[in-house]
């Protein structure tokens, strides 16, 4: 599977869901948006080797 975080390619072994990817990358689901094959995906979305996953960290605060 192709994974990019903020535009940088990365890899995660053994992840089967969006939540597992975020956990492996040590990213908080509350601070990220994840797209799988171009569609927004919640943590329980299953992913496979042919999927394209984009993780976008959301910047907030003041």
How many whole angstroms separate alpha carbon 30 and alpha carbon 60? Answer: 11
- The predicted model scores a pTM of 0.90
Indicate the pLDDT class of residue 60, thresholds 50, 70 and 90: confident
pLDDT at 62: 64
6: Cβ contacts below 8 Å, ≥ 6 apart = 55, 56, 57
pLDDT surpasses 90 at 41: yes
Contacts of 40 (CB under 8 A, 6+ apart): 33, 34
Q: Which CATH architecture has domain 2-57?
A: Roll (3.10)
């Amino acid at each position: 599977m192709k994974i990019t975080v903020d535009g940088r390619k990365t890899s995660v072994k053994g992840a089967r869901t969006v939540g597992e990817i975020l956990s492996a990358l040590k990213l908080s689901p509350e601070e990220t948006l994840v797209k799988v094959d171009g569609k927004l995906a919640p943590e329980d979305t299953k992913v496979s080797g042919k999927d394209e996953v984009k993780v976008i960290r959301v910047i907030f605060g003041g």
